[in-house]
Amino acid sequence: MNSLTATNEVAVLNPGNLLRKAAPVCALLVLVADQISKLWVREGLLLGESIPQGGVLRITHMANPGIIFGFPAPSAVSVLLSVAAIVVFIFMYRAYVSSDSRLLNVGVGLFIGGSLGNLVDRIAFGSVTDFIDVGMQDALVRTTFNLADVCIIAGIILFGIFFVRYRLREMTKST
């Protein structure tokens, strides 16, 4: 084994290098799981159909043409906002990637994977497939969302926790 090969092997096995690959791997896993779950719903349920018929938690096939919380927006706006959010998170990730934080990598991976999952729906179908239906039986408000939405929110929360911890560490270093 020459020194160049040994150096490359050490670089590949370096935990920091492996951890930096966690964000794209996490994003890919979320994207695949999200698209499989939405395909299952689109193929298995008619639009508006629910299983079970009643209850607090149901699987209901819904098409959401809007943006966050179903807020109406032209399709071009919803696609552009999705792409802009992904780009912003990539830039934030690049700014902090040297910290080798699991919270950062998983948070960004969840956010980007979920955002890409909904973006694929917007481009392919003109709306996002939602199916996790939560609410009381006779309540006026029920909410319907999907796996991508859960991952987006979880990613934002994890990134927020990372950022607060990072800033606190930076503040204690400077004092």
State mean pLDDT over 114-124.
Answer: 96
Residue 2 pLDDT exceeds 90: no
- The pTM score is 0.84
Q: pLDDT tier at 16 (50, 70, 90 boundaries)?
A: low
pLDDT tens for residues 26-59? 999 999 999 999 999 999 999 999 999 878 899 9
More confident residue, 19 or 86: 86
Residue 9 pLDDT exceeds 90: no
DSSP character for 16? Answer: H
Active-site residue, from 34, 121, 130, 133: 130
Q: Amino acid identity, residue 30?
A: V
Residue 14: the pLDDT is 55
Q: pLDDT tier at 21 (50, 70, 90 boundaries)?
A: confident
Mean pLDDT for the chain overall: 87
Note if 130 is an active site residue.
Answer: yes
| Distances in whole angstroms, Cα of residue 60 to Cα of each of 14, 30, 31, 39, 141 | 45, 21, 20, 13, 14
Residue 93 pLDDT exceeds 70: yes
Note if 149 is an active site residue.
Answer: yes
pLDDT tens for residues 95-107? 988 888 899 999 9
Integer Cα distance of 151 and 109 in angstroms: 9
Integer Cα distance of 78 and 126 in angstroms: 10
pLDDT tens for residues 135-170? 876 767 788 999 999 999 999 999 999 999 999 988
Q: Mind giving me the DSSP string for 72-137? A: ---HHHHHHHHHHHHHHHHHHHHHHGGG--HHHHHHHHHHHHHHHHHHHHHHHHSSEEEEEEE--T
Is residue 93 within 8 Å of 20, Cβ to Cβ? no
Active-site residue, from 34, 121, 133, 149: 149
- Which neighbouring-strand residues pair with 144? 133
